[in-house]
Every structure is written in structure tokens, then in C-alpha cells.
Amino acid sequence: MKPEDDEKEIEVSEDKPKAAEEAAAADAAPPRSGGKAIHVSKSDVPKPRFTPKRALILLAIVVVGVTLSVFFAREKDVYASWQSPDGQHTVTVYRIARMFSMPGGGSDAPGMILLTNADGTVLNRRKIGMVQLASEPEWGEGSVTMKLMFEWPIE
């Protein structure tokens, strides 16, 4: 190839636009290698951005995030609360929210029963399988009792 061939200019006249387009298309065609193999190194080929390995890593991150949010970010709602006759202690039943429940199954949720004093200090606690099992506590001299759940001393 001569250097002049690479630098030829195409003159476009208004009379012959078709001829000019054909000449431009011929110049735009990829050069032929003359039967020789073209060597392309791996560094010349762009790497794909989304590979199966990256997809698995992303999936693992999502699964771990959802799992952690289910176990550690559960809200606790007050299901019921009772105050002692003297106003010094409170028994509170918290319902631990679940991600999924059937309609009408809100009271089947697990929960926590806390005995606190007037300052808000937790004196005793107990986990329960279903908050609907909690009943009104009986306040006695120096103790509080909930049927089939607990009997805690009050100081």
C-alpha cells in the first residue's frame, strides 16, 4: 500500500452523491489481512463486568443481609402491660414481629415478658412462645405471678 492511498480525499459533488457514498463505504471497510492470522492478546479484549463469580458474590451478600435483618432487626411491639397496685412495678408483654404470618395469626407471635421497676430497670424477663398465652398477673405481698408463666419476687 502506498501512503497516498491512506490519505485520499473524497470529493462530494451535489451531482453525484451516490458515487461519493459508495467511495466512502469502500474506504470504511475493514482492511484485509492478506490471508495472515490476526493476533489479539487477552489484554486487548475487554473483560465482562458481570461474571458468574460476581453474580454468586452478589447473591451471597443479599442472602446474608436478609438473614441478618430477619434475626436482628425484629421490632418489639407492646402486646399488653399491667402496673402493680402501688405503681412501683410493671409487667409488660412484648410481641416480637415476624416477617410472615397468616391472617389473624398476630397473637401467635413469640414474645418477651419483662418486669420493670418505676425507674425502668428490668428486674426479670422471660421468653414466651406465643403472646396470647400471657394473662393478667396477680400482685401479691413481695411477688408477682402469671398463671403457668412465672412467679417472680418483688423487692
Distance from the Cα of residue 22 to its chain's centroid: 57
Type of residue at 114: L
The residue with cell 399491667 is 82
Does residue 17 surpass a pLDDT of 80? no
> Nearest 5°: phi and psi at 22?
-65, -40
Question: Domain of 136?
Answer: 74-153
Domain count, the chain: 1
Q: Are strands 76-83 and 122-128 parallel, antiparallel or unpaired?
A: unpaired
Please check whether residue 34 lies inside any domain of the structure. no
Query: What b-and-e string marks burial along 127-142, b requiring 16 or more CB atoms within 10 Å of the CB?
Result: ebeebbbbeebebeee
Residues 43-57 have pLDDT tens digits of 776 777 778 888 899
Look up residue 119 and give its three cell numbers.
425507674
In a domain, 44, yes or no: no
Does residue 143 lie in a domain region?
A: yes
Residue 33 included in any domain: no
Residue 150 CA: distances (Å) to CA of 84, 92, 113, 133: 16, 13, 10, 12
18 domain-assigned:
no
| Distance, CA of 155 to CA of 152 (rounded, Å) | 10
What does the pLDDT look like over 93-150, one tens digit per residue? 998 876 666 676 655 788 899 999 999 899 999 999 888 888 999 999 889 999 888 9
Q: Where are the alpha helices (DSSP H) in 7-129?
A: 17-28, 52-72
Q: Is residue 90 situated within a structural domain? A: yes
141/30 Cα distance (integer angstroms): 98
Give this prediction's pTM: 0.51
H helix runs in 29-151, sequence order: 52-72
